Structure 1
Amino acid sequence: MNQEQNHEQPMKAGFVAVVGRPNAGKSTLLNHLVGEKLAMVSKKAQATRKRMNIIVMHDNAQIIFVDTPGLHEKEKLLNKFMLEEALKAIGDADLILFIAPVSDSTAEYERFLKRIEKKKTPHIVVLSKIDQASNEKILSKIAEYQKFQEHFVALIPYSVKKNIGREELLDEIVKHLPEHPWLFDPEILTTENIRDIYRELIREALFEKLSDEIPYESDVVIDRIEEEELIDRVYATIVTEKETQKRMIIGNRAESIKRVGAYARKLMEEFSGKKIYLDLHVVVRKGWSKNKKSLEEIGYVF
């Protein structure tokens, strides 16, 4: 990251909403852009539930990326909250990145255009996961998007695995940001506090180590953190919907929760550079994901 101020260029700063369908690879791309593991990554769709600001300095510009839940329509109250989070990010942004996996049809993009047709916010199409396609397939997909070229300001092919597109994308983003003093200390990578980051890393462990149903009907509350120079002691509660799910999370002889805890500690230690003591408990709150009061108690403020 280029964090040195260049006095020959005007300072720029702006918010860039990163949107796309669930599991399009938004968080993976953001971690690649910032060069750190900050955003929650899971192979399972709809893992991201709240907006998260991730800051990248580039060519005298401060880019505040806003990671968002996937664009989708479902009736559950938590899903409605997630969609609202994405739409708020779009509404507040100076620029939008639409993440379009190369294997997708243009149908999701067409739905996105309908969502923003009354807005004048410019957007870039990021053709992601190009390492999974042949050159012929990539060129064919680019040609498909050309019929929409009056809508987007740029189309950037991108591969995290092959490290393709990062500089081109950052250069293009900077062109569309307003001239403005930096909004945050250029040394920080996110506006999230340590409590929220640890919560997301524990959630990531749930998604990684438990069967499909459990993570979607579970969440994490950080009860308290005791920060010391060499160790953080983290006390957290996993909230789930049913007694049967609680038993599955704990597992026979507590094997499942030990597996989740070990993986969560690994992620937390990699992030913090400290030793982590993690104390996990599991509670049942029936219908928490369908109840506004319960959602707000967990941290989803409407």
Structure 2
Amino acid sequence: MIEPLKTKAGFVAVVGRPNAGKSSLLNWLIGEKLALVSHKANATRKRLNMIAMHENAQIIFIDTPGIHEQERLLNQFMLEEAMKAMGDCDLILFLTPVTDTLQHYADFLALTKPDVPHIVLLTKTDTVSQTVLLDKITQYQAYQDKFAALIPVSVKKGISQSYLLETISRFIPEHPYLYDPEILTTERSRDIYKELIREAIFEYTSDEVPYFSDVLIDKVEEKESIDHIYATIVVDKKSQKGIIIGKEGQTLKRIGSHARRLIEELSQKRLFLKLVVAVKQGWSQDKELLKKIGYIVE
């Protein structure tokens, strides 16, 4: 009698300071553009489950907001999202740019539970020399009893996805698959669309505007040959609305064009995207408005 294949399934929280490279790493591992990527910090605002299959293991990655100080209610929500992910997982990936000091790692150790194993990933290693990289690895040896593994990684070059997924899967428990092996995320399509529109806002606006804006998906109509998405960009001030719209509406057109391209690449369908901008003063401090946009603050 043939023994049934033993499968593994588990959750892996991906954490680190803002702009540590979490979303870029996950898009690279999954092989699809699902998570918001920006060179600006604090782009990710809520947990996002992304699923990778590696041999007999189903790895459910949890992309999290960067660990940072609480300020507005929205920031409080973001920190709580990261903390919940670390408390509900089988393994933690702590991402830290190779140029960072070890203080970020010390802060992480103060937040995490010692019974949950973690792997340290030194990111953006393509930006430094081999000497600098080896020196940083040597510094981490003082903490070698804390982490399960220390792995230098670069999305642009270096280790393969297979090696990293194999290492991660060693810490995943034996368990039947939790989700259909064919799906890449447990998120609703409209939540992915929201993040891709937000990425376009980060791409074409600067200063405080991306951080004081968000996206509300008003309606999605899926048809055979083309999808229709109607969305509202919410901002905090009238001046921010003017910046997002731009002279003669050019900035909003660029945002819409960029977002449409990202969504079409994901859905493999033509898209009609209608964006409007609305001022909701103090939205990031208003529990009811935050809930409507998708952030429930306890």
Report the TM-score, using the length of structure 2 for normalisation.
0.97
Please tell me whether residue 31 in structure 1 is matched to residue 21 in structure 2: no
2:145 paired with 1:115: no
Aligned partner of 1:158 among 149, 153, 166: 153
Q: CA deviation at 1:297?
A: 1.1
Q: Distance in 2 between matches of 1:183 and 1:158?
A: 28
Structure 1 residue 179 and structure 2 residue 150: aligned? no
Give the conservation status (yes or no) of the 8 Å contact 1:29–1:160: yes
| Distance of 1:279 and 1:39 partners within structure 2 | 22
Structure 1 residue 8, shift from structure 2 partner? 7.0
Confirm or deny: 8 A CA contact 1:235 1:279 kept in the other structure.
Answer: yes
Corresponding residue SS for 1:125: strand
| Residue in 1 that maps onto 2:230 | 235
- Which residue of 88, 91, 96 maps to 2:87? 91
Alignment of 1:192-271 (within 5 A): 192-271=187-266
> Match of 2:185, SS?
coil
Q: Give the aligned residue type for 1:248.
A: I
For 2:127, give the aligned amino acid. Answer: Q
Matching residue's letter, 1:38: L
After superposition, what is the alpha-carbon deviation per residue over 1:276-300, rounded to whole angstroms, capped at 9, x for unaligned?
1000011111100011111111110
Residue 137 of structure 2 corresponds to 142
Q: Deviations over 1:141-184 (max 9, x none)?
A: 11111110101111111111015242222111111111100000
Local SS of the residue matching 1:286: coil
- Root mean square deviation of aligned Cα: 1.3
Aligned to 1:45: 41
Distance 1:9 1:212, change over 3 A: farther
> Greater CA deviation, 259-268 or 14-23?
259-268
Question: What's the CA shift for 1:9?
Answer: 5.0
Letter in 2 for 1:277: F
Partner of 2:291: 296
Deviation at 1:134, TM superposition (A): 1.1
Secondary structure, counterpart of 1:236 in structure 2: strand
For 1:99 and 1:183, the matched residues in 2 are separated by 25
8 Å Cα contact 1:159/1:165 also seen in 2: no
User: CA contact under 8 A between 1:156 and 1:165: conserved in structure 2?
Assistant: no
Give 5+ residue unaligned stretches, structure 1.
1-5
Contact 1:13–1:61 (8 Å) recurs in 2? yes
| Other structure's SS at 2:12 match | strand
Asked whether the 8 Å contact 1:231–1:274 carries over to 2, the reply is: yes
- Determine which of 44, 55, 60 is the counterpart of 1:59: 55
What is the distance in 1 between the residues matched to 2:24 and 2:4? 33
Amino acid of the structure 2 residue aligned with 1:68: T
Partners of 2:279 and 2:41 in 1: CA distance: 24
Structure 1 segments (4+ residues) deviating >3 Å: 6-9
The aligned amino acid for 1:301 is I
1:183-217, CA deviations, whole angstroms, 9 ceiling, x for partnerless residues? 00000000111100101000000000112211100
Deviation at 1:7, TM superposition (A): 6.5
Q: Which amino acid counterpart does residue 64 of structure 1 have in structure 2?
A: I
Q: Please name the residue that 1:3 is paired with.
A: none
| CA offset digits 1:112-151 (Å, max 9, x no partner) | 00111x4410000011111111111111111111110101
SS in 1 for 2:265: helix
Q: Please, which of 65, 74, 99 is the counterpart of residue 78 of structure 1?
A: 74
Aligned amino acid, residue 284 of structure 1: V
| Paired letter, 1:107 | Q
TM-score for the superposition, normalised by structure 1: 0.95
For the residues of structure 2 that align with 1:259 and 1:186, how far apart are their CA atoms? 36
Please tell me whether the aligned partners of residues 236 and 280 of structure 1 are also in contact (alpha carbons under 8 angstroms): yes
Q: By how many angstroms is 1:17 displaced?
A: 0.1
Work out the percentage of aligned pairs sharing the same amino acid: 59
Work out the CA distance in 1 between the residues paired with 2:14 and 2:4. 29
